[in-house]
Amino acid sequence: MIIFIQSIDYNLWDLIVDGPHLPSIRDENGESIPKPRNTYNDDDRMRLQLNAKAKHVIICAINSSEFNRVLSCISAKEIRDRLKVTYEGTNQVKYVKISMLVHDYE
């Protein structure tokens, strides 16, 4: 999957792993808030387009039940993280699986 995504656009995989860096501005309190759509510049639109492309590639590769799991995700990174937890589990789940396999082996 990594090679396929990188063949489409090398920056897509970086965006999926690192996150999309969605356009935002600082308010008077110094907090980051989403940037209004009417103030987007070309760089903001390019970032959003790259995120949309990455989401499209992932969604085209999954089935309908997986699609229902990731439907509410905003970024490609969120989709990847949710699918990763679904199929690989958390660190605790991995540890339990390893322990069970070691126990069965012994």
Contact 33, 25 (CB under 8 A): yes
Q: What is the mean pLDDT of the chain?
A: 88
pLDDT at residue 42, rounded to an integer:
93
35 vs 91: which has the higher pLDDT: 35
- Give the pLDDT band (50/70/90) at residue 76: very high
Match 């322990």 to its residue by tokens: 99
pLDDT at residue 40, rounded to an integer:
92
The pTM of the full predicted model, rounded to 2 decimals, is 0.72
Q: Which domain holds residue 18?
A: 2-105
pLDDT at residue 58, rounded to an integer:
93
Give the separation between CA 90 and CA 4, rounded to whole angstroms: 26
Q: If you count them, how many residues does the chain have?
A: 106
Domain count across the chain: 1
pLDDT at residue 100, rounded to an integer:
82
In this prediction, what percent of the chain has a pLDDT beyond 90?
Answer: 38
- For residue 30, pLDDT over 80 is answered with yes
**Which of 61, 60, 82 has the alpha carbon at shortest distance from 70?**
82
